Chain A
Amino acid sequence: MMFRVPKTPPGAPLLIVEHMTMRFGGLIAINDLSFTAKAGEITALIGPNGAGKTTVFNCITGFYKPTSGRMALIKGTHDPAQIVATTRLGGRWSPGATQPQTPGVFLLERMPDYEIAAKARVARTFQNIRLFPGMTVLENLVVAQHNQLMQAAGWFTGLFGAASYKAAERQAVEKAATWLDKIGLTARADDAAGALPYGAQRRLEIVRAMCTEPVLLCLDEPAAGLNPRESAELNALLRAIRQDSGVSILLIEHDMSVVMEISDHVVVLEYGTKISDGTPEHVRNDPKVIAAYLGVEDEEVGIRDQGPGIRG
């Protein structure tokens, strides 16, 4: 089972978020956010605490339904007319988009969470790691391949030990073993996931998401709680993932060394509003970002001290 074809060509838009607004009662968590994540790139979403980054993630992965806005995930080449047509038709995706070989578009705001993962192929990790702690490392990765294995097993034909299911299961284990090799956890494959050290759990969660064969991988603070060595390992893993599988990555991160080092494109949020959008270089030098997030220059302190700036 390989990546779905047609793949969105590198550099073309993969996820187009337009005018996304999320209200919780009177609180506007995200205010008219628009950005585009391109295929094959690492897009970072940064911002001070409470800026709404995780809310954006929860909307993209279907755990929240945005109050308004459109999130289009492109399969194949980008065709603006198709997005408009699909939106008008009222479906969750363009006709045939779930079939292999057919290009199309998925409107994520209309899809429930598990469908976004299964059909649109958007995988995610969580800020507070959500592994299956009582299952082994290998089981965690096999569960991630649930939908592929389900197709092989049917609902119950696997009950009688069908050969096709056995083959599919062996394949799933092989894929899991390959990934475990990459993160150096092969020796612990048969240990409970909950018994792993924190850094290993983080890597395992990322790899588990990769086992669903996503086109877009959303990582919510993958470097949180990691020491510098583990942080460097994470950078290497993310780069390797992008290079080997061509998956696009959407990343929330506070660790600027990770963000500036590996991302191609940075979106900065503050109080739910986008304040900057561009390359790491661009963002790093954007006075708005510096004022709001990275801190202000020493000589400006006197002037800006009363302002709402949060210094990093």
Chain B
Amino acid sequence: MTEPSAQAANAPSLTGTSAYNHSEPITFIRQLRYAGVAMLLAFGLSMPLLALKLSQDISNHLIVEQRFLLLASAMLIAFACGLRWRLFGLRSQWPAEALYLVLSALLLFFLIRAFHGLGSLFEATLDKGGSEFLIALGLLACGTALQSALAYALHVERDRWAAALPAMPEGLAARFGGHCAKHANTGALVALVAFPFLMLALTGTAGAIKWVDNFGVQILIYIMLGWGLNIVVGLAGLLDLGYVAFYAVGAYAYALIATQVIPATFPALGVWAFWICLPIAGLLAALWGVILGFPVLRLKGDYLAIVTLAFGEIIRLVLVNWTEVTKGDTGIQTPRITFFGLPFASATGDRTFGEVFGLSGSPTIYRSIFLYFVILALALLTAYTTNRLRRLPVGRAWEALREDEIACRSLGIDTTSTKLTAFAIGAGFGGFAGAFFAARQGFINPKSFEFIESATILALVVLGGMGSLLGVALSAFAVIGGTELLRELDWLKSIFGPTFDPAQYRMLIFGAAMIAMMIWKPRGLISEREPSIFLKERKAVSGTLVKEGHG
């Protein structure tokens, strides 16, 4: 494939817009012609394989099955793709063009063939819900064509439009954009605070428990974990594959102190267990962060990653095997969170939250909403702290460390303590999240702290764009929320048959999304870096210049 810029440099610019440097002016008729050729090619290549299928009937006779609708949709896709490639590709020479058409047709052909061979899923699709599938394909093709036409109109005909329209809309758009950006934080905060009540109003008690707890709380836990790890990986550039260890330390600190220490010493404080343990869990996790930090200070890159990975596993294995204390895989029943000492449900007849505030009904929904606000507050605390730290010398030193450790030392920055603070603070937030997790679940065992959790949290940070709080939040929203959302797609069963369970495709979709991200947005959703200080104007730093850090 040729480099577009190289070709763009050769071809004279005729249309006036930078992206379209064709040797001939683009006309819509020409687009149609090219797309038509693509369609014919697709017809020629896929006709024998798609349109006709040999199969056996009940009496073992060979019969020819006709699937012209499938062929038609293949041609439609080829048509759309041809139109699209002609519009977006910067190819000005016909051999490249022809190669493109052939390649696209071939690609399509193989795709359809591969799908066809995928087995039960698509067999079932073609037999049972085949028509819906084909309609979907046709719609996709039409959509692509429409999009191409729109892009054509927007880009190629832009000058004509621009002449016809006054400059006002652009200015308005810019002002509107600026306005949105300015109030985005406030808006997001209002939306987050309103979310549980909105859900309660919209879906009733049962629905709200699901949306607030499964979605809201779950996503916020991962946002908080992502933000915590972001300090270590995104800011300080230390690749940590064992972050879940600190989450586990926090969770077990809460579980053990609340079930063993407090009943043995001050049983009266039992209802306050979560609020007492929260800071202790954070501090303990931070201490473990330092304990991990010391031996790995000299390590870089892959070696650091492996040792942190091992550390995560060691913690988990200790939790599994130290049965006298942790009860191993059996796990520990943890006391539920209380509303500042007021339990939501009580087996012993204590006054509960509902009684005091005169709220009837299931205590679960009140607890869920309260949990939601607790984790929201914890996550906001993490974001606030991270933002402040970035503007402090220690935060700037973290980022400088990620950029160039040797330069840091030449400027008199003690890289040892800088790394240790990053480990400790990142771990501390993991510990907070762990204590919250234990209080929310009411039960913990080592199964919750396996390597896949570390990998997921790291994926959130990488997908979001290392160092970007908004990016990590967005990716947590997409990955965790998306995973939960797959459970809600029961209507897909009407298309793909009753055995189809979209949640089973979680990892497949996750993997595909990862690959797509690595191709199109290798530095994450938000790769730009916000400078921590500015002289005249705040300009985001392009992600291509920002280093990823190697330990």
Binding site for B on A (CB under 8 A): 61, 63, 113-119, 123-124, 126, 130-136, 138-139, 142-144, 146-147, 149-150, 153, 155-156, 158-159, 161, 165, 169, 173, 176-177, 180, 186, 189-192, 194-195, 208-209, 212
Contact = CB atoms under 8 A, between A and B. Distances in A.
Interface string B380-408: 00000100110111101101101110111
Given A123-B411, A136-B531, A190-B534, A153 B400 contact: no
- Per DSSP, chain A at the interface is helix
A207 B8 CA distance: 40
A173 B536 CA distance: 11
Nearest to A140: B400
A132 B541 CA distance: 12
B510 to A, nearest CB: 28
B414 A114 contact: yes
Interface in B395-444: 396-397, 399-400, 402-404, 406-415, 421
Interface residues of B, number: 40
A71 B547 CA distance: 35
Given A139-B531, A159-B388, A132 B413 contact: no
A169 B413 CA distance: 17
A133 B545 contact: yes
Given A126-B410, A135-B400, A149-B393, A192 B534 contact: no
What are the 8 closest A-B residue pairs judged by CB atoms, nearest first? A134-B546, A118-B412, A117-B412, A132-B403, A194-B545, A130-B407, A189-B535, A149-B393
Nearest to A187: B536
A212 B409 CA distance: 12
Given A135-B396, A169-B533, 14 more contacts: A63-B406, A113-B410, A115-B412, A126-B410, A133-B404, A133-B545, A134-B541, A134-B545, A138-B531, A139-B399, A139-B531, A159-B392, A209-B411, A212-B411
Interface of B: 385, 388-389, 391-394, 396-397, 399-400, 402-404, 406-415, 421, 529, 531-539, 541-542, 545-547
B536 A190 contact: yes
B222 to A, nearest CB: 25
A186 B536 CA distance: 9
B534 A133 contact: no
Nearest to A148: B393
B155 to A, nearest CB: 28
B347 to A, nearest CB: 42
Most interface-central of B400, B415, B535, B545 (chain A CB within 10 A): B535
Nearest to A213: B412
A155 B408 CA distance: 18
A101 B535 CA distance: 34
Given A139-B533, A173-B533, A173-B535, A114 B400 contact: no
Given A114-B413, A132-B404, A133-B545, A177 B535 contact: yes
A113 B534 contact: no
B234 to A, nearest CB: 12
Nearest to A177: B535
A194 B379 CA distance: 33
Nearest to A214: B412
A135 B403 contact: yes
20 contacts: A61-B410, A63-B409, A63-B410, A114-B408, A126-B406, A126-B407, A133-B546, A134-B545, A135-B396, A136-B533, A138-B531, A139-B396, A139-B531, A143-B400, A143-B411, A147-B412, A147-B413, A150-B394, A190-B537, A195-B542
